């Protein structure tokens, strides 16, 4: 019995062994954590192949892995894997690469291309990857080499890199340590009432979407999580260079939000960052949850909070900073906008403004106010311990809703004076 155990342990510790998968010789690599990974190269997904051949072979690998609940290992390479879009990541499959977050790229020593677990995308017709239940995508870089860096009129409106299935009820998707270069829309998790998704997790993802949308989510119930995500036009500074001022201005003109949450139950958002998009986050009328430890820099609107009822369309927002300084005119620049119904509780959320050479700011280099409250429905707002400065209006709160109930306690206004107020 002891000899049997020794032999078993020795076999598990072997770094590479061979097995037969559907008649094909496959290599299994030890991951160092006790799991086994099946290299996509052994399924014929190779850096030198055409995009269509790699797509066909990777889909075959996914089909096999779905039955086994296996990890497909995106083996690091000097050259990227060029793969066509239209892939379906079926239930139970993990597509895993070598990387943690790589916010400035992993440039080749002699050329401006990324190395490692890199997927090269040029398909302008189909979303690259549609995810289904129990799937994972981790440690991969997605590179769009044909995307412009400095010419706004040449922006390619690629379909989404990763999208959720709209034809099935997708549950349990884990997206981690993903970096995007040249993307238009990284994550499209908009689905429909008939096929909602649940339990989505996004963490440590980096990029700068030229649509202005990094993660959009609609009909995702049961505690979706977005954590430690970073949107910045310097994302591929060590590869193609930082996006030009004119490109950033073009992204802002789209009047989209880096993060959009709607038809969502108890969303959890923590440590999210966006720079150089029109809006930081849109909390839609059919959503509620918590947003904490955030920074929305060089935006026109930091937070737009909506609500369709007074029962549970409530957001708790804390520990954040908003720099609102860009847009068509200063009267349109509001760090926070509240409308609809429900309650908004803010604590320690500061706003200030100023100039920045990475994009065009309004001449005043200020926002109009700290918060705009608008609409006709009754809503409630409480603000505590927040600093409000660099705004032009006489009051930090612009009230365009006579049904609103607002209480401000222990805040600091633009003159660095204590600001407390009770409205209605």
For the chain, the first-to-last Cα distance in angstroms comes to 79
pLDDT band at 7 (very low <50, low <70, confident <90, very high): very low
Q: Which long-range contacts (CB under 8 A, 24 or more apart) does 48-53 make?
A: 48/79, 49/82, 50/82, 51/82, 51/83, 51/84, 51/122, 51/123, 52/84
Lowest-pLDDT choice from 100-104, 242-246, 305-309: 100-104
Q: Are 290 and 316 in contact (CB under 8 A)?
A: yes
Residues 307-319 have a mean pLDDT of 96
CB-side neighbour CA atoms (13 Å) of 199? 10
**Measured distance CA(269)–CA(281) in Å, rounded:** 10
Residues 15-22 have a mean pLDDT of 36
pLDDT band at 95 (very low <50, low <70, confident <90, very high): very high
| Per-residue pLDDT, 104 | 86
Residues 248-255 have a mean pLDDT of 98
Residues 159-183 have a mean pLDDT of 96
Residues 336-363 have a mean pLDDT of 97
With H, G, I as helix, E, B as strand and everything else as coil, classify residue 8: helix
pLDDT band at 195 (very low <50, low <70, confident <90, very high): very high
Which H/E stretch holds residue 57?
helix 51-68
Residues 306-317 have a mean pLDDT of 96
Residues 225-243 have a mean pLDDT of 92
Residues 155-176 have a mean pLDDT of 96
**Measured distance CA(327)–CA(157) in Å, rounded:** 22
Question: β-strands 405-412, 418-423: how paired?
Answer: antiparallel
pLDDT 10s digits, 371-391 = 999 999 999 999 999 999 999
Residues 344-362 have a mean pLDDT of 96
How many residues make up the chain in this entry?
424
pLDDT band at 393 (very low <50, low <70, confident <90, very high): very high
Does the structure show a pLDDT above 70 at 30? no
| Per-residue pLDDT, 410 | 97
The pLDDT > 70 percentage for the chain reads: 92
pLDDT band at 249 (very low <50, low <70, confident <90, very high): very high
**Measured distance CA(109)–CA(240) in Å, rounded:** 14
Cα radius of gyration rounded to whole Å, the chain: 24
Main-chain dihedrals φ then ψ at residue 267, nearest 5 degrees: -65, 140
List CB contacts of 358: < 8 A, sequence separation 6 or more: 233, 242, 245, 248, 275, 276, 298
pLDDT 10s digits, 198-213 = 999 999 999 999 999 9
| Per-residue pLDDT, 46 | 98
For residue 375, give Cα distances in angstroms to 32, 76, 301, 383, 402.
Answer: 56, 53, 17, 19, 8
CA 84 to chain centre: 22
Does the structure show a pLDDT above 60 at 68? yes
CA 36 to chain centre: 29
Lowest-pLDDT choice from 9-13, 62-66, 96-100, 411-415: 9-13
| Per-residue pLDDT, 63 | 97
């Amino acid at each position: 019995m002891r000899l049997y155990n020794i032999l078993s342990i020795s076999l598990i510790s072997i770094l590479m062994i061979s097995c037969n998968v559907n008649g094909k010789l496959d290599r299994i690599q030890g991951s160092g954590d006790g799991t086994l990974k099946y290299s996509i190269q052994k399924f014929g997904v190779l850096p030198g192949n055409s995009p269509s051949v790699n797509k066909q072979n990777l889909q075959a690998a996914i089909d096999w892995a779905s039955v086994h609940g296996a990890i497909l290992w995106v083996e690091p390479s000097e050259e990227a894997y060029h793969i066509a879009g239209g892939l379906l990541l079926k239930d139970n499959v993990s597509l895993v690469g070598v990387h943690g977050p790589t916010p400035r790229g992993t440039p080749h020593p002699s050329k401006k291309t990324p190395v490692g677990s890199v997927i090269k995308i040029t398909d302008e017709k189909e979303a690259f990857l549609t995810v289904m239940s129990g799937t994972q995508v981790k440690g991969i870089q997605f590179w769009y080499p044909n995307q412009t860096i400095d010419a706004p009129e040449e922006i390619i409106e690629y379909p989404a890199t990763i999208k959720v299935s709209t034809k099935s009820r997708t549950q349990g998707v884990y997206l981690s340590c993903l970096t995007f270069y040249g993307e238009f829309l990284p994550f499209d998790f908009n689905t429909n009432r008939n096929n909602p998704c649940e339990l989505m997790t996004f963490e440590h993802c980096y990029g700068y979407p030229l649509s202005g949308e990094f993660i959009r989510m609609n009909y995702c119930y049961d505690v979706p999580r977005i954590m430690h995500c970073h949107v910045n036009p310097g994302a591929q500074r060590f590869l193609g260079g930082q996006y030009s001022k004119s490109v950033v201005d073009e992204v802002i003109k789209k009047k989209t939000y880096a993060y959009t949450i709607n038809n969502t139950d108890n969303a959890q958002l923590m440590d999210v960052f966006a720079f150089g998009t029109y809006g930081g986050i849109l909390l839609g009328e059919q959503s509620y949850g918590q947003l904490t430890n955030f920074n929305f820099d060089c935006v026109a609107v930091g937070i737009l909070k909506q609500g369709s009822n007074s029962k549970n369309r409530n957001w708790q927002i804390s520990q954040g900073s908003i720099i609102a300084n860009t847009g068509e005119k200063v009267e349109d620049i509001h760090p926070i906008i509240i409308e609809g119904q429900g309650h908004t509780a803010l604590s320690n959320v500061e706003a200030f403004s100023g100039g920045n050479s990475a994009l065009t700011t309004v001449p005043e280099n200020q926002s109009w106010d700290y918060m705009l409250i608008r609409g006709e429905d009754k809503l409630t707002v409480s603000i505590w311990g927040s600093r409000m400065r660099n705004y032009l209006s006489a009051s930090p709160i612009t009230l365009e809703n006579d049904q609103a109930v607002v209480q401000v306690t222990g805040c600091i206004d633009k003159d660095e004076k204590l600001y407390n107020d009770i409205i209605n």
